Amino acid sequence: TYSGHPLAMASIVAALDAMEDEGIVENAARIGRDVLAPGLAELQAKHPVIGEVRGEGVFWALELVADRETREPLNGAVMGRIKAELLGRGLLPFLADNRIHVVPPCVVTDDEVAEALAVYDEVLGLDLLN
């Protein structure tokens, strides 16, 4: 923080003001509520490999499991195959353990989210568990 240097603080305030003026936080909240939440819930209903969906705004996680009942996490090899398939379709995934973190930028559009959801749907429908 450079001991609270005024120039550094001014840049932070300016960035926050710009985000407010441009409706960036509101967009992130709306995308999460109206696009990501229902879209990811649909994926969970369709793909048994998704054990849990959780998140808010534009920060979500898909917990991938080998068995929903036991909540056994997918192993690293399967997660690696999922990552490779997502990358191959132009999506840059953020994976941690058995989770896919769905964290688009706060300025993401409805169409961009729909495109990503279609990629997740396609990849999670592949037979990658073996």
Is residue 130 one of the residues assigned to a domain?
Answer: no
Q: Which residue has the higher pLDDT, 36 or 127?
A: 36
CATH number at residue 111: 3.90.1150.10
Is residue 111 one of the residues assigned to a domain?
Answer: yes
pTM: 0.86
Strand partners, 96: 99
Is residue 1 one of the residues assigned to a domain?
Answer: no
Mean pLDDT of 89-111: 96
Secondary structure in 3-state letters for the chain = CHHHCHHHHHHHHHHHHHHHHCCHHHHHHHHHHHHHHHHHHHHHHHCCCEEEEEEECCEEEEEEEEECCCCEECCHHHHHHHHHHHHHCCCCCEEECCEEEECCCCCCCHHHHHHHHHHHHHHHCCCCCC
The sign of the torsion formed by the CA atoms of 73, 75, 76, 77 equals negative
**CB-CB contact of 124 with 49 (8 Å):** yes
Is residue 98 one of the residues assigned to a domain?
Answer: yes
Q: For residue 13, what are the domain limits?
A: 6-125
Longest CA–CA span in the chain (Å) reads 57
As a whole number of angstroms, the distance between CA 100 and CA 64 comes to 8
Return the pLDDT at 6.
82
Return the pLDDT at 5.
79
What's the chain's length in residues?
A: 130
Number of domains in the chain: 1
Q: pLDDT tens, 14-55? A: 999 999 999 999 999 999 999 999 999 999 999 999 999 999
Is residue 74 one of the residues assigned to a domain?
Answer: yes
Is residue 63 one of the residues assigned to a domain?
Answer: yes
As a whole number of angstroms, the distance between CA 56 and CA 29 comes to 7
Is residue 43 one of the residues assigned to a domain?
Answer: yes
Is residue 28 one of the residues assigned to a domain?
Answer: yes
